Amino acid sequence: MGSVETRPRRSVLAVPGSNPRFIEKARELPTDAFFLDLEDAVAPLEKENARRAVVAALNEGGWGSRVRTVRVNDLTTQWTYRDVIDVVEGAGAMLDCLVLPKVSDASHVRWLDTLLTQIERANGLEVGRIGIEAQIEDARGLVTVDEIAAASPRLETLVYGPADFMASINMKTLVVGEQPPGYDVGDAYHYVLMRILMAARANDLQAIDGPHLQIRDVEAFRRSARRSAALGFDGKWVLHPGQVAAANEVYAPDQDDYDHAELILDAYAHATQVRRRGAVMLGAEMLDEASRKMALVIAAKGRAAGL
């Protein structure tokens, strides 16, 4: 579906589906996107109430232009099919995407695609409009991430799930987002982030970084966000109002880079179209077609962020 610029997702707010106060608060926060959670932030005994609350919250509206999504339970549970049916039958027209957690192979995504198509047809909804966000959060998901990323035209994003992932590989730490103690030779998450990013980009999907659980430490959030943003990630989950502004800022280019990108685009357009040259100088910098492509990425992210 679409391109990586399809929808802005610098900040993706996690909202427990069973908590009316958090749902209310989510309508006020300036995030690009949110997901109402039916999975790990909802206790097993609250799953059914949460489904009803999530459907009601979507139908009540008040979400502005935010990307509206719901995270269903993963396919090893007894809840997933009912989550999908109740949410899409109850509020499908108000929903942009479903988030599927713990996707460990491509069949998970295909299952959800098929079920969505059936529900859309049966309810007169536009077939294929509801997208899928796939969370990569275990070793199997990572080693099959290329097939997962190509599994359905509904896919819009791959989302890194650090907490589950770290548990899945037996990482010797309890702190999500920080380097595991003892690993002092680089970034322990580099391979995972890069692997997800490559699979996403090869399939024209967005890549979204997962949550940072030390919610009061905004500087630590910012450090972790800067790392994935530097690689090319499009955004990050936020769990707390204090993380929102940091995510919106870190995943947008800064003003100087944005201005410079627009300058490169203008200079290069003039060079190729008016002067018929493929390489030109802008100050001390040589520009060619590859420079234009890099500038396009920064300019598109800047425009989407309203710079």
Burial class of residue 198 (count of CB atoms within 10 Å of its CB; 0-12, 13-18, 19+): middle
| Cβ density class 263-272: b for 16+ within 10 Å, e for less | ebbebbeebb
Task: From the list Mg ion, ligand GLV, none, pick the one residue 253 interacts with, judged by a Cβ distance below 5 to 8 Å according to partner type.
Answer: none
259 is known to lie in a ligand binding site: no
Gyration radius (Cα) of the chain, Å: 20
Say how far apart CA 233 and CA 151 lie, in whole Å: 20
- The CA-CA-CA angle for residues 98, 136, 45, to 5°, reads 55
Kindly state whether residue 253 participates in binding ligand GLV, applying the rule CB under 6 A: no
Q: Is 133 in the site for Mg ion (CB under 5 A)?
A: no
CA atoms within 13 A on the CB side of 300: 14
256 to 295, contacts with ligand GLV by CB under 6 A? Answer: none
Q: Given candidates 161, 177, 253, 302, which one binds Mg ion under the rule CB under 5 A?
A: 161
Q: 89 phi and psi, to 5 degrees? A: -70, -35
Per CB under 6 A, 163 contacts ligand GLV:
yes
CA 34, 38, 42 angle in degrees (round to 5)? 110
Q: Which CB, 54 or 287, lies closer to Mg ion?
A: 54
Alpha helices, H only, 161-217: 162-168, 190-202
User: Residue 128, class by beta-carbon neighbours within 10 Å (0-12 exposed, 13-18 middle, 19+ buried)?
Assistant: middle
Binding-site member from 16, 90, 162, 253 for ligand GLV (CB under 6 A)? 162
Compare residues 237 and 268 and give the one whose CB is closer to ligand GLV: 237
How many residues touch Mg ion under the rule CB under 5 A: the total is 3
- 177 part of the interface to ligand GLV, by CB under 6 A: no
16 makes contact with ligand GLV (CB under 6 A) = no
Q: Which is nearer to ligand GLV, 216 or 293 (CB)?
A: 216
CB of 162 to ligand GLV, least distance (A): 4
The answer to whether 161 contacts ligand GLV (rule: CB under 6 A) is yes
Contact between 164 and ligand GLV by CB under 6 A: the answer reads yes
The nearer residue to Mg ion, 120 or 164, going by C-beta atoms, is 164
* Cα 245 to Cα 177, 238, 240, 252, distances in angstroms: 18, 10, 10, 11
Provide the mask over 101-120, with x wherever binding to ligand GLV is found by CB under 6 A and - wherever it is not.
x-------------------
Residue 120 or residue 209: which is nearer to Mg ion going by CB? 209
* Partner whose binding site includes residue 210, from ligand GLV, Mg ion, none (CB under 5 to 8 Å by kind): ligand GLV
**Residue 16 neighbours by CB distance under 10 Å:** 23
Instruction: State the residues that interact with Mg ion by CB under 5 A.
Output: 137, 161, 164
